[in-house]
Structure 1
Amino acid sequence: MMAVILPRTVRRAAEAALSLHSVPPRAACHFARSLGGVSSACSMEFVSWQNGGGILHRAASVDPTAVVEAGAVVHSGAVLGKEVVVGSGAVVGPSVSIGQSTRVGYNVVLSNCSVGEFCIIHNGSSIGQDGFGFFVDEAGQVKKKPQMLCARIGDHVEIGANTCIDRGSWRETTVGNHTKIDNLVQIGHNVVIGKCCMICGQVGIAGSATLGDYVTLGGRVAIRDHVSVASKVRLAANSLVTKDIQEPGDYGGFPAVPINEWRRQIANLRLFSKKASVKR
């Protein structure tokens, strides 16, 4: 069954880690090197974790109550708190920290980030990868901007399946406590999201945007880069925020305006459409 579920390289790594406990160090290194897929196992010193069967680097700090399931990998310098669960296929990158009782789903990738306590990260999410930052130089070539900072996830945050949260470049990407994020959401680099926000599916938040507390974004809302949204703002589905929203309240439309204004726009558009069809 394991051979069917796990990719070949992960399966080889798991087999090598299990074998490292049963053979002398030099023999273990030679055996790991012979597998090809884990050629650096000797230098990185990965071993099997007794609570779940996943693979840990010896330099990782893992609480004895943490569960690292088979096929998961925890890298050097990572910190896993009490009662953390890391699902099969997940990767916890170097120096990533995960707080108490947080659950990490299958095939989640965590890098350049910290995750608070009592969080839920659903299957396939990716946190801490480089943001989409590029510029065109004098020669007309597209160059990558440095992405050197981290993503910080607060406590009691829930992140839906296949959601991506980029690391920061000039400030850290931050998600506040008790914020809930749906599936298939894209949060760009340097974005700051306050506490107790609700972000529905397929929302896209471009880089360096700032959201206050208690913000609600309906499905497929788009927020352009460097825009600020005040606390206690609610945006209707399919809205586009093109400039700062400074007052709390309900907004909608493309571009987003106060909800009553947007409703008048829709009503006038329907009326105009009916009149135009009569004239024809």
Structure 2
Amino acid sequence: MVSYTISEINNILKGELIGDTSQKIEGPEELQKASCNQITFIGSKKYVKFWEDSNACAALVGTDLTISPGDNRAFIKVKNVDLAMATILEFFNPIAPVFETDIHPTAVIHETAKIGHGCKIGANCYVGKDVELGNEVILYPNVCVFDETVIGDKTTIWSGTVIRERCIIGSHCIFHTNVSIGADGFGYRPSEDGRGLVKIPQIGNVIIGHYVEIGANSCVDRGKFSSTIVGDGCKIDNLVQIAHNSVMGRSCIMAGHSGLAGSVTLGDGVMIGGSASIKDHTTINSGATVGAGSGVMNDVAAGKTVLGYPAQDARDMLRQWVAIRQFMKNK
């Protein structure tokens, strides 16, 4: 088991070491669950009260906190506790599952596929006609990549993921289990006799930028025509729906159970809370935030925060909630 002294950890973080501990640190843990050989973190003043009863031997604390660590315990003071904890988690991150062979004998790879240097392809994978994999791409077992798809260098795709034909995936992406890329968009119209629905063909594709991460069981549908686009650096949680012809700018965040209807446009740095729904043909401009559970029916201005169902300016919605609560209290 890997372990570090508090000084070794501080040498990496370059924080301010307060106190000392003789304990070797074997991993990080939450403040109230930590054992004596673990490091924890205190991100704000409201958690200070839990330090005295914690068994942790060390903690990351913000520079604005003035508590002392106590006997045989230590603090590392840092400007950003969350980022420092991310670095610590990298210290203790277990190695990924091991490939005993780079390309498993049960993988089916079309003779026209181009496989880059250092790729790893697990058991029962399918790589179709004219697919191009960049260097050091990893396909874990049971991944399907269909015809004419291109995947950039050092992208990792976990088991159960299906990437349909003609999609373009950037480099350094991570797709978690059971992601669907390039399935048909949801397009139907009533038939002329009014007795059924006519399926609208979806002939576009999906283009995903670099350093994109997509959580388990999320879906990015292909365009009806042209492309559904996910910009560089976007981070998408589990169980998220991105519908046909939507366009996401750079570094957008979508939390779990949120969804974009067809032809939604997101600017750069848009944040969408869990279970929020965005109406089709809506534009949410750069830097805007959509609160959890909200329903966006109209365009949202750059930098604005909206909340509620239907969504409106967050301050107006909060005032409404306060007024309703007061009314019910006085009723």
Q: TM-score range by the shorter chain?
A: 0.7 to 0.9
TM-score (norm: length of structure 2): 0.67
Q: Secondary structure at the match of 1:213?
A: coil
- Contact 1:212–1:230 (8 Å) recurs in 2: yes
Distance 1:153 1:50 in 2: 25
Q: In 2, Cα distance between the equivalents of 1:50 and 1:206? A: 39
Query: Match of 1:138, as an amino acid?
Result: E
Question: Structure 1 CA distance, aligned partners of 2:212 and 2:313?
Answer: 29
Q: Does structure 1 residue 79 correspond to structure 2 residue 132?
A: yes
State the partner residue of 2:172: 118
Q: CA deviation at 1:51?
A: 2.6
Q: Which residue of 2 aligns with 1:257?
A: 312
Paired residue type of 1:177? D
Aligned partner of 1:81: which letter? Answer: G
Structure 2: where are the runs of 5+ without partners?
A: 1-100
Q: Report whether the alignment pairs 1:51 with 2:106.
A: no
Please report the TM-score for the alignment, with normalisation by the length of structure 1: 0.79
Kindly report which structure 2 residues correspond to 1:1-280, keeping only aligned pairs within 5 A, or say none.
51-53=103-105, 54-112=107-165, 113-140=167-194, 141-276=196-331
CA distance in 1, matches of 2:212, 2:206: 13
Which consecutive segments of 4 or more residues in structure 1 shift more than 3 A?
none
How far has the Cα of 1:137 moved from its partner?
2.3
Deviates more, 1:63-72 or 1:215-224: 63-72
Tell me how far 1:226 sits from its aligned partner: 0.7
* Aligned counterpart, 1:30: none
Letter of the 1:128 partner, please give it.
G
State the match for 2:91 in structure 1.
none
Tell me, yes or no, if the aligned pair for 1:55 and 1:68 is still in contact at 8 Å. Answer: no
The structure number with the bigger radius of gyration is 2
Does structure 2 conserve the Cα–Cα contact (< 8 Å) formed by 1:73 and 1:89? yes
CA-to-partner distance for each residue in 1:167-216, whole Å, 9 max, x for gaps?
A: 00133100000000000001100000000101100001101111110000
Contact 1:67 1:83 in 2 (8 A): yes
Q: How far apart, in 2, do the equivalents of 1:273 and 1:237 lie?
A: 24
**Cα distance in 2, alignment partners of residues 273 and 137 from structure 1:** 49
1:248 Cα deviation from its structure 2 partner: 1.8
Distance in structure 1 (CA, Å) of the matches to 2:140 and 2:168: 17
What is the count of residue pairs matched by the alignment?
228
Q: Separation in 1 of the partners of 2:183 and 2:256?
A: 20
SS at match of 1:267: helix
Is residue 288–residue 301 contact of structure 2 (8 Å, CA) maintained in 1? no
> C-alpha displacement at 1:250, in angstroms?
1.4
Amino acid at match of 2:126: V
Structure having the higher helix fraction is: 1
SS at 2:319 equivalent: helix
Identity of aligned residues (%): 38
Q: Map Cα deviations across residues 25-55 of structure 1 (whole Å, 9 max, x no partner).
A: xxxxxxxxxxxxxxxxxxxxxxxx9633322
Q: Is contact 2:307–2:314 with CA below 8 Å preserved after alignment?
A: yes
Q: Report the Cα offset of residue 258 of structure 1.
A: 1.1
Paired with 1:93 and 1:171, the residues of 2 have a C-alpha distance of 18
* Residue pair 1:123, 1:161 contacting (<8 A) in 2 also: yes
Letter in 2 for 1:55: V
RMSD after superposition: 1.2
What are the Cα deviations for residues 144-189 of structure 1, in whole angstroms up to 9, with x where unaligned?
Answer: 1110000000000000000000000133100000000000001100
Query: Alignment partner of 1:129: what SS?
Result: coil
